[in-house]
Amino acid sequence: MSVALGTTRPLPVRTTPIRDPGNLLASLPRTAPYAWIRHGEGLVGWGQAARADIPPGPDRFAWARQWLAAVFDDAHSDDDDALPPGSGPVAFGTFTFDENSAGSTLVVPQTILARRNGRAWLTTIGDAPHQTFTPLLDPGRISYGDGSLTAPAWEHVVARAARRIRDGELEKVVLARDLLATAEHPIDIRLLLLRLARRYPECYTFSVAGLVGATPELLIRRTGQEIQSLVLAGTTPRGTGPADDLRRGAALLASAKDRHEHECAIASVRQTLAPLCAQLHTPDEPELLVLPNVQHLASHVSGRLADGASVLDVVAAMHPTAAVGGTPTHKAIDVIRELEGMDRAGYAGPVGWIDAHGDGEWGIALRSGIVEGRRARLFAGGGIMGDSDPASELAEAQAKFRVMQYALEG
């Protein structure tokens, strides 16, 4: 753990209502930007008041809760209690998919700019330094190379997983693959964020500690005691035109394989949230979520917490869901570790933010990549069932890669 200000005195926090700042992402400096944006609303941040590199292991969420409690207790805030969630000190975070992998991080930025429901505010912690806002940089030509496995090797892994499902070892496993991108010039994360937010406004565009993406999947939102989640499982690529789109969407809704995959994901969420909630609603039937590159089976889940758990407590209970792990989850994780041939890092792990009141929003880090200098490691995957076709699963992953490829190439 490190605290950037290096002081034992309470960190002074000031939140001030401001006029509409316009595009939040356009306000970011180039160095280490933090973001959580959907339909132009959300939070961005820069600077570093406090940072924790969370030790891997089964106790990592408990460790993170203790660290957050200490940091927020040391932050003296004079903010207006009437301001929405996300005012006062806020921590942006990313947790690795596998509890045994290093790389989980929490950061409290020194400056946070936010807008929600027609209101905007600015939070500063300590003596926030003056930032220089430099022009956006284009990464230039992008070249791609295989990640941990070639495409044929990954298809072979999918076939092995499907065979084990047919043999009754498990019901579903989610397998991912990576793609390496190298740019001609250093990659400007701000440019990626602006492109993603413009192209995928329905998604949550995020940036935390080098992990950048636009996820369609809301793991959990907590506002007071109210919670919401969006479960996605079952995917088809977009069609070549409106008629093909309708045909593909209807086929997805009618697909026994995809409906079963979605039912596994909903059952996982219901089983996890029920003990935490006084009320919980899960829909009987999924709906279609249509994005620029794919269509998903989607279900909106809502509830009311029973015991005042923070959003991070709920994240800890939910991760990993069947939508990104499989069913039964513990067995699916073992199969992923055995077959996938790579460390997912933050891909398919929780990413989002939490404030001092325990409110916040966390998504599953899908449609994402890890950016460092001129290089980016992109991730995509899909749910494998007993009747999955390896070529179709590869095509689905390729369609999901296009999100980050668009961000890089424009």
- Confidence (pLDDT) at 6: 37
Question: Is residue 355, in this structure, part of any structural domain at all?
Answer: yes
Q: Is 234 domain-assigned?
A: yes
Q: How far apart are CA 16 and CA 121, in angstroms?
A: 5
Residue 3 lies in a domain: no
Q: Say how many domains are in the chain.
A: 1
pLDDT for the residue numbered 8: 43
- Give the Cα separation of 177 and 381 in Å (integer): 6
Q: Is position 2 within any domain?
A: no
Each residue's pLDDT, cut to its tens digit, for the chain (410 residues) gives 344 433 345 678 999 999 999 999 998 988 889 999 999 999 999 999 999 999 999 999 999 999 999 999 877 666 555 667 888 999 999 999 999 999 999 999 999 999 999 999 999 998 766 676 788 999 999 999 999 999 999 999 999 999 999 999 999 999 999 999 999 999 999 999 999 999 999 999 999 999 999 999 999 999 999 999 999 888 888 888 899 989 999 999 999 988 988 888 898 889 999 999 999 999 999 999 998 888 999 999 999 998 889 999 999 999 998 889 999 999 999 999 999 999 999 999 999 999 999 999 999 999 999 999 999 999 999 999 999 999 999 999 999 999 999 999 98
Query: Would residue 6 count as lying in a domain?
Result: no
- 151-166 and 390-409 helices, crossing angle to 10°: 140
Beta strands 211-215 and 368-372, pairing class: antiparallel
What is the pLDDT, as a whole number, of residue 4? 41
For the record, the structure tokens of 79 come out as: 């903010």
Q: Give the CATH number for residue 266.
A: 3.60.120.10
Q: Phi/psi of residue 215, each to 5°?
A: -95, 135
Is residue 104 within 8 Å of 54, Cβ to Cβ?
yes
**352 within 8 A of 219, measured Cβ to Cβ:** yes
Q: Is residue 179 part of a domain?
A: yes
The two structure tokens encoding residue 201: 């406004």
Distance CA 105, CA 93 (A): 6
Domain of 181 in residue numbering reads as: 11-131+142-409
Is 400 in the active site?
Answer: no
Query: How, if at all, do strands 218-223 and 50-53 pair?
Result: unpaired
Output b/e per residue, 135-156; b: 16+ Cβ within 10 A. Answer: eeeebeebeeeebbbeeeebbe
344 is a domain residue: yes
Residue 233's pLDDT is 86
Residue with tokens 């991108």: 181
> What is the rounded CA–CA span in Å between residue 181 and residue 276?
41
What pLDDT does residue 11 have?
73
Examine residue 66 and state whether it is found in any structural domain, yes or no: yes
Helix or strand holding residue 260 (H, E): helix 256-273
Write down the residue that tokens 């790579």 correspond to: 342
Catalytic residue among 155, 172, 263, 400: 172
Can you tell me the distance from the alpha carbon of 263 to that of 285, in angstroms, rounded to the nearest whole number? 9
Q: Which of 155, 171, 217, 340 is catalytic?
A: 217
CB atoms within 10 A of CB 304: 14
Question: Is 338 a known active-site residue?
Answer: no
Residue 93 has which token pair? 């975070």
Instruction: Report d(CA 128, CA 354) in Å as an integer.
Output: 20
pLDDT of residue 79: 57
